[in-house]
Amino acid sequence: MQPVSKLTRSNKGRTACAVVLALAMGVTIPPLSAQSVDSHIPDLAGIWDGRPSVRPVNGESVPWGEDNFPVLNERAVAYQQVWEEIMAPKYDCQPASSPAIQYDPYHMSVTQWPDRVMFRYEKDDQLRTVWLDGREPNSTDFSIQGFSVGYYEDGALLVTTTHFVFDIAGFDDYNGIPSSPQKVVTERYWRDGAELRVTLTVEDPMFLRGPVSYTTRWLPAAEGYRLAPYDCDPESSRASVRFFPSKYK
């Protein structure tokens, strides 16, 4: 993914300053979808349906298959061999991260502003911010969802996310593959008629021999739909693992 040019960064910086000034003056700024925008900026805003009626349910082989399953290095294989279900952080209500959360079979909403795009996932009630103003992450920006920057190009939103924390199940919820702070996730979002599509690519030299990708879609949510609260309860969630036999004494 090419870096944002200095000219583009400058323009975005001026846009961000204009936004701050307008807010200070009490002027209401509508989301990007309500403004007149350049044709190269796609309209991604709305609530999108990613349930099993729209695409296959994710699992050990979905969205990964023979053609795109990651090639693991010895370190990842060693982690995978000691993996068992009771280790999964999801039973302590830890949210999923990329590349799993984009494929989880729930709704999500997208809001576009001049300086950012916000993705809110019904799964785990997570909010991701993709910064468009040229800012760069610092040493305090590590998190489960990482730090995302992006720009528009040729009718698509291109996103690069870095600064992930180590996650014992950071690749997905099913295969026992961890991810490291070296993980880099790139996404390309575009409209294909009524559909919202993404091609997502994962790189993590700590565990993967090379990059892996998948492409998926969302459809517009039913009229009037609102994201439902996830409401994960750690006590009841962790209680369920007592039914999973451990291979360790």
Span 164-188, pLDDT tens digits:
999 999 999 889 999 999 999 999 9
Domain boundaries, the chain: 6-221
86 vs 52, residue with greater confidence: 52
What is the average pLDDT across 3-22?
45
What is the average pLDDT across 205-220?
98
How far, in Å, CA of 13 to CA of 167, rounded?
34
The answer to whether 29 and 19 have CB atoms below 8 angstroms apart is: yes
pLDDT value for 125: 96
Q: What are phi and psi of 9, to 5 degrees?
A: -60, -40
pLDDT value for 232: 93
pLDDT value for 22: 47
**pLDDT > 70: what percent of the chain?**
84
Q: What is the pTM of this model?
A: 0.83
pLDDT value for 30: 53
